[in-house]
């Protein structure tokens, strides 16, 4: 049996096109990821600046759709789009001390221009844009009537990462959205934080199909300059979590540093409360690949698929190609992206290829289909074929596209939920983390007092305290003691391994 | 009469909102431009890095629509989208000698990271990305079957401009698209150049409403590394031209420098022919402002208006506001952007404000309209009101939106065509340039031989030879001699003043 499979593989390779993809995502996750990025032509790591990649069309087309949904949602909630300069003066970064401390090690600096003439002052390639936005906030915000002042920008940002880079997951340049908002009070700012969490659920979960838990990070793991930090963790098949959007309630140090004041209803000048929210599109794309893909390659949710329908003519005959063209036009008229595969590959090779590329729907047309007025439809998400009347195509696609997304979300949710387990002591904690789980447990404290126990987890379990849920869970049932020191648990926390 | 106008002005200002805008675009173009950029909140020049501005929502929303049309058109013609790194190693830039000579004076250099540790090698903030794309082309292109290889990216680029910067027109960071294509022969590459010109017509003229002439630049004015350079010139009311998209047939030095070869049908390895095309979105936006605006402010073509319909309730009464809400929803269902102005301003102030902002259509609803089942519609392009039945709104908007665009294009075309004049000698040339015209005239040569006459034009007329049309015009009629040296004219060229 194996021999036969090998033969088949060889035969395909002989034609000069190795089209099959078959790597176990569960068993060899790291290899699977490296290979699919290359095979599906998502990103090219051969660009000659360390830590930078070229984003290729198949990923860019999907990420453009992701931007569309993220921006539409933010705009619907009252955020206005800006494009800020890429360069930020060093003095701006220095204005908030924990911020400069946190980001300096990662900054790329522009120091000269032309024939090595020095620039007037050292300029940072933005690692994030708090210190660019807030100096402008001080010019734009005057009165309580200007609040809330809700902004965002689509931008590329730069961080000199010292950890190993991986395409989409961690690069020295990545593509994101950063939303910055000014509010009249801490309470209003916290409502913004909650809105950001809802936005994350509406877009990342309900459209992109990514399950996550939104945690409040412990005190030792806050964003530089934040009073409270919240972040969504997505789980990879190797049991490690990836941090996806984070949203922060900033300390007023920024507002004070940049003098962002407003005249309140009572006539007094007050400093605003600022929140910032940062969904990293290129990293979210990594999670889309990882969460939905299988051993045969990619699986795209319908709405963010670079191509939604591929049409494979079984033979390159005029009658068949005319019908394919007609179908393509009908679909495109309904704003569904469709392409006919006219390459020289065999139909079988085309099937493998587009399954690997993750196209949600395939239409097959051969002589049989033409004669009978039928079409064969293949769903990538469940790997099944269905024969329908060609008159039903549009209604079938309309219905099925919704089913595909629902199914992908359900599969992902089930997998995620099954991997969150309760543990009561260090041994259980270590065992479940080692078997790729997120562990839920009691913990002494997420303030500085708990830092010691967190360190034990870092060193002995090789994992980290991801935080607490915003809707605080009270220790109860089995979970009453700190999983490390055994003292009475003040918190229910989640522990996971990260990259 | 004047006194009265002043009084009215004061009254408006008393309320703390100076809403009127009234500057003669023809007479005080420079002031008009500076003021409208600030008043309409298009760009904020107060950012604290010289030559960089903050692009504000009203411009970003329009430019996002501009990107949509530009990208859709490029994709329809087979270009695939990429995102390349912002940073390019110095050694890449050096590979093509005229390219590095042309761009080095304008490059920003990244030389260090973190706490002033040097980067492994000097990195340029891309001034343009030929030398990033083509090293990847050498990895991606193998056979004639891979050609044409058509790419593009949406990107921000950086040039250390030494001339005075102006928002959108010339900044040290600007937003553009660059399309790079590899072809099997010079002939095929020239067809790409023509396609780029058509694309420019389809998008910049037919959608954005910008008239221009596409010139082949004289030999002394080519893009660094180009064999032939073509560029579109748009005319401003002060008689100066702005260079908009350019497209270049590159010399094969790039293909050779980066070793971009393909195996041709005859089995031989050959170097590709490369073209590059660069529409600068943020500069094109400047032309949209300038070409369509009038003394009252902006006028947006329908398809790229940040907001298409503003609804002004004459009183803030429930019945009226409910109707306004209904209209907004009806419009939005048809993908027409609409907003209700609920501010505290008076209806008259709202009218001024949205006219200044350039919103193409205004819907006014008061008690009278509600009682009669009517709506008052105001068209910004012709400044006229019309009363329609509220049942006809959608069909009215559908029809009128097309009329608005047609009208804006026609107005712009007429203005442009009236300002191109034939001249036969230096005096006529100087007079027409001084009166804000583009002059068409005979010229001895656009090769090096003509450089002397071109210099006379630069120095004595303070203008430049913009080039010849691609469909060569033969000197005839009045135009037979070089406008400067009087020798037999080999070419018909166009001369204009530039920024």
Do A217 and A257 belong together in one domain?
Answer: yes
> Do A326 and A365 form a contact (C-beta atoms < 8 A)?
no
Task: Give the one of B55, B85, B116 whose C-beta lies nearest to A49's C-beta.
Answer: B85
Helix (H) or strand (E) holding A429: helix A426-434
* Residue whose tokens read 């992902």: A412
The answer to the question of residue B376 being in a domain is: yes
End-of-domain residue from the set A292, A320, A349: A292
pLDDT at A387: 97
CB within 8 Å: B105 and A89: no
Phi, psi of B446, rounded to the nearest 5 degrees: -95, 5
Q: What is the pLDDT along chain B (499 residues), one digit of tens a residue?
A: 344 444 444 444 444 455 579 999 999 999 999 999 999 999 999 999 999 999 999 999 999 999 999 999 999 999 999 999 999 999 999 988 888 888 889 999 999 999 999 999 999 999 999 999 999 999 999 999 999 999 999 999 999 999 999 999 999 999 999 999 999 999 999 999 999 999 999 999 999 999 999 999 999 999 989 999 999 999 999 999 999 999 999 999 999 999 999 999 999 999 999 999 999 999 999 999 999 999 999 999 999 999 999 999 999 899 999 999 999 999 999 999 999 999 999 999 999 999 999 999 999 999 999 999 999 999 999 999 999 999 999 999 999 999 999 999 999 999 999 999 999 999 999 999 999 999 999 999 999 999 999 999 999 999 999 999 988 899 999 999 999 999 999 999 999 999 8
The answer to the question of residue A257 being in a domain is: yes
Give the CATH number for residue A449.
3.30.110.30
Q: Which residues sit opposite A378 in a β-bridge?
A: A362, A385
Contact with chain A for residue B50, Cβ under 8 A: yes
Task: Give the one of A56, A104, A113 whose C-beta lies nearest to B82's C-beta.
Answer: A56
Q: Is the dihedral of CA B497, B278, A132, A186 positive or negative?
A: positive
Cα separation, A451 vs A455, whole angstroms: 6
A110 min Cα distance to partner chain B (Å): 4
Q: Which residues sit opposite B376 in a β-bridge?
A: B364, B387
Task: Give the one of A81, A83, A173 whose C-beta lies nearest to B86's C-beta.
Answer: A173
pLDDT at B4: 44
Do A252 and A321 belong together in one domain?
Answer: no
Q: What is the CA radius of gyration of chain B?
A: 26
Do A132 and A214 belong together in one domain?
Answer: yes
Task: Kindly give, in sequence order, each residue whose CB lies less than 8 Å from that of residue A341, ignoring residues fewer than 6 positions away.
Answer: A310, A311, A312, A313, A350, A353, A354
Residue B193 has which token pair?
């150049």
Do B229 and B260 belong together in one domain?
Answer: yes
Q: Which residue in A has a C-alpha nearest to residue B110's C-alpha? A: A110
Do A452 and A317 belong together in one domain?
Answer: no
Cα separation, A124 vs A139, whole angstroms: 22
Phi, psi of A413, rounded to the nearest 5 degrees: -60, -45
CB within 8 Å: B109 and A111: yes
Strands (E), B61-135: 80-82, 87-89, 108-113, 117-125
Task: Kindly give, in sequence order, each residue whose CB lies less than 8 Å from that of residue B170, ignoring residues fewer than 6 positions away.
Answer: B161, B163, B164, B283, B499
Cα separation, A12 vs A6, whole angstroms: 10
pLDDT at A472: 84
Q: State the pairing for strand pair A420-422/A438-443.
A: parallel
pLDDT at B15: 45
CB within 8 Å: B111 and A111: yes
Residue A459 has which token pair?
């060193």
How many CB pairs below 8 Å do chains A and B form together?
145
Output DSSP code: residue B408. Answer: H
Q: How many domains does chain B have?
A: 3
Q: Is B214 exposed, middle or buried (0-12, 13-18, 19+ CB in 10 A)?
A: buried
pLDDT at B96: 82
Cα separation, B488 vs B54, whole angstroms: 51
Residues of A in contact with B180 (CB under 8 A): none
CA atoms within 13 A on the CB side of A135: 21
Do A277 and A376 belong together in one domain?
Answer: no
CA dihedral A129, A134, A135, A138 (to 10 degrees): 160
Task: Kindly give, in sequence order, each residue whose CB lies less than 8 Å from that of residue A13, ignoring residues fewer than 6 positions away.
Answer: none
Closest C-alpha among B496, B436, B491, B424 to residue B462: B496
What are the CA-CA distances from residue A32 to residues A212, A289, A293, B415 (Å)? 22, 11, 10, 61
pLDDT at A17: 52
CA dihedral A301, A302, A307, A308 (to 10 degrees): 140
Q: What global pTM score does this model have?
A: 0.95
CB within 8 Å: B105 and A92: no
Q: Which residues sit opposite A364 in a β-bridge?
A: A312, A376
Cα separation, A92 vs A86, whole angstroms: 13
The answer to the question of residue B303 being in a domain is: no
Cα separation, B149 vs A87, whole angstroms: 33
CB within 8 Å: B173 and A85: yes
Cα separation, B66 vs B55, whole angstroms: 15
Residues 166-225 of B with CB under 8 A from A: 173, 175
Q: Is B271 exposed, middle or buried (0-12, 13-18, 19+ CB in 10 A)?
A: middle
> Do A285 and A176 form a contact (C-beta atoms < 8 A)?
no
End-of-domain residue from the set B238, B265, B292: B292
CB within 8 Å: A111 and B106: no
Do A108 and A251 belong together in one domain?
Answer: yes
| Ranges in chain A, pLDDT < 50 | 1-16
The answer to the question of residue A10 being in a domain is: no
Do B100 and B190 belong together in one domain?
Answer: yes
- What DSSP string describes B357-368? HT-SEEEEE-HH
pLDDT at B18: 53
Q: Which residue in A has a C-alpha nearest to residue B64's C-alpha? A: A81
Q: Which residue in A has a C-alpha nearest to residue B174's C-alpha? A: A85
Do A366 and A435 belong together in one domain?
Answer: no
Give the CATH number for residue A362.
3.40.50.800
Do B69 and B177 belong together in one domain?
Answer: yes
Task: Give the one of A64, A82, A175 whose C-beta lies nearest to B54's C-beta.
Answer: A82
The answer to the question of residue B122 being in a domain is: yes
CB within 8 Å: A106 and B114: yes
B182 min Cα distance to partner chain A (Å): 16
Output DSSP code: residue A280. Answer: -
Cα separation, A9 vs B180, whole angstroms: 36
Three-state secondary structure call for residue A315: coil
Helix (H) or strand (E) holding A244: strand A240-250
Q: Is B6 exposed, middle or buried (0-12, 13-18, 19+ CB in 10 A)?
A: exposed
Give the CATH number for residue B88.
3.30.930.10
ipTM score for this prediction: 0.94
pLDDT at B14: 42
> Do A295 and A24 form a contact (C-beta atoms < 8 A)?
yes
* Residue whose tokens read 């994992």: A463
* Domain ranges, residue A270: 33-292
CA dihedral B290, B293, B299, B300 (to 10 degrees): -10
> Do B32 and B24 form a contact (C-beta atoms < 8 A)?
yes
Contact with chain B for residue A339, Cβ under 8 A: no
The answer to the question of residue B93 being in a domain is: yes
Task: Kindly give, in sequence order, each residue whose CB lies less than 8 Å from that of residue A374, ignoring residues fewer than 6 positions away.
Answer: A368, A387, A388, A389, A390
Contact with chain B for residue A108, Cβ under 8 A: yes
* Ramachandran area for residue A209 (φ above 0: left; ψ -120 to 50: alpha; else beta): left
Do B492 and B379 belong together in one domain?
Answer: no
The answer to the question of residue B410 being in a domain is: no
Cα separation, B187 vs B190, whole angstroms: 5
Do B200 and B113 belong together in one domain?
Answer: yes
Cα separation, A375 vs A120, whole angstroms: 66
Residue B481 has which token pair?
């001699």
Cα separation, A276 vs A226, whole angstroms: 9
Residue A412 has which token pair?
């992902």
A82 min Cα distance to partner chain B (Å): 5
What are the CA-CA distances from residue A420 to residues A236, A415, A438, A467 (Å)? 13, 9, 5, 14
The answer to the question of residue B338 being in a domain is: yes
Task: Kindly give, in sequence order, each residue whose CB lies less than 8 Å from that of residue A132, ignoring residues fewer than 6 positions away.
Answer: A84, A85, A88, A92, A126, B47
Cα separation, B150 vs B272, whole angstroms: 12
End-of-domain residue from the set A230, A262, A292: A292
Longest dimension (CA), chain B: 84
Cα separation, B201 vs B208, whole angstroms: 10
> Do B278 and B189 form a contact (C-beta atoms < 8 A)?
no
């Amino acid at each position: 049996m194996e021999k036969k499979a090998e033969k088949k593989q060889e035969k395909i390779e002989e034609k000069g096109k190795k089209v099959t993809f078959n790597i176990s995502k569960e068993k060899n996750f790291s290899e699977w990821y490296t290979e699919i990025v290359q095979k599906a032509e998502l990103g090219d790591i051969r660009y000659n600046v360390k830590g930078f990649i070229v984003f290729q069309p198949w990923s860019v087309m999907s990420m453009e759709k992701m931007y569309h949904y993220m921006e539409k949602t933010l705009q619907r909630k009252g955020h206005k789009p800006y494009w800020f300069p890429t360069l930020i003066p060093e003095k701006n970064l220095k204005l908030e001390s924990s911020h400069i401390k946190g980001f300096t090690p990662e900054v790329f600096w522009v120091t000269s221009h032309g024939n090595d003439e020095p620039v007037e002052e050292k300029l940072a390639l933005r690692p994030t844009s708090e210190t660019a936005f807030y100096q402008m906030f001080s010019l734009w915000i005057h009165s309580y009537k200007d609040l809330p002042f809700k902004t965002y920008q689509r931008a590329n940002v730069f961080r000199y990462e010292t950890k190993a880079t991986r395409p989409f997951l961690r690069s020295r340049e990545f593509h994101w959205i950063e939303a910055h908002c000014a509010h009249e009070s801490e309470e209003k700012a916290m409502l913004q934080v909650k809105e950001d969490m809802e936005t994350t659920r509406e877009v990342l979960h309900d459209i992109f199909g990514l399950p996550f838990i939104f945690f409040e990070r412990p005190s030792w793991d806050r964003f530089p300059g934040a009073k409270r930090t919240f972040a969504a963790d997505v789980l990879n098949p190797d049991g490690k979590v990836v941090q996806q959007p984070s949203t922060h309630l900033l300390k007023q140090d920024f507002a004070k540093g940049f003098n962002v004041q407003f005249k309140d209803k009572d006539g007094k000048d007050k400093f605003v409360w600022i929140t910032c929210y940062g969904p990293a599109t290129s990293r979210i794309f990594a999670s889309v690949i990882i969460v939905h893909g299988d051993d045969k390659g990619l699986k795209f949710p319908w709405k963010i698929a670079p191509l939604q329908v591929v049409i494979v003519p079984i033979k390159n005959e005029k009658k068949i190609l005319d019908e394919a063209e007609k179908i393509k036009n009908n679909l495109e008229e309904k704003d569904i992206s469709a392409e006919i595969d006219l390459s020289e590959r065999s139909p079988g090779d085309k099937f493998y290829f587009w399954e690997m590329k993750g196209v949600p729907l395939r239409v097959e047309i051969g002589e049989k289909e033409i004669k009978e007025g039928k079409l064969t439809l293949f769903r990538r998400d469940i790997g099944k074929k269905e024969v329908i009347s060609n008159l039903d195509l549009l209604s079938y696609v309309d219905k099925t596209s919704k089913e595909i997304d629902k199914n992908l979300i359900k599969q992902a949710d089930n997998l995620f939920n099954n991997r969150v387990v309760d543990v009561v002591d260090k041994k259980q904690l270590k065992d479940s983390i080692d078997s790729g789980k997120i562990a839920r447990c009691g913990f002494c404290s997420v303030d500085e007092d708990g830092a010691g126990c967190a360190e034990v987890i870092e060193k002995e379990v090789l994992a980290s305290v991801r935080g607490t849920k915003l809707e605080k869970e009270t220790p109860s049932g089995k979970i009453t003691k700190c999983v490390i020191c055994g003292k009475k648990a003040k918190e229910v926390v989640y522990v996971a391994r990260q990259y």
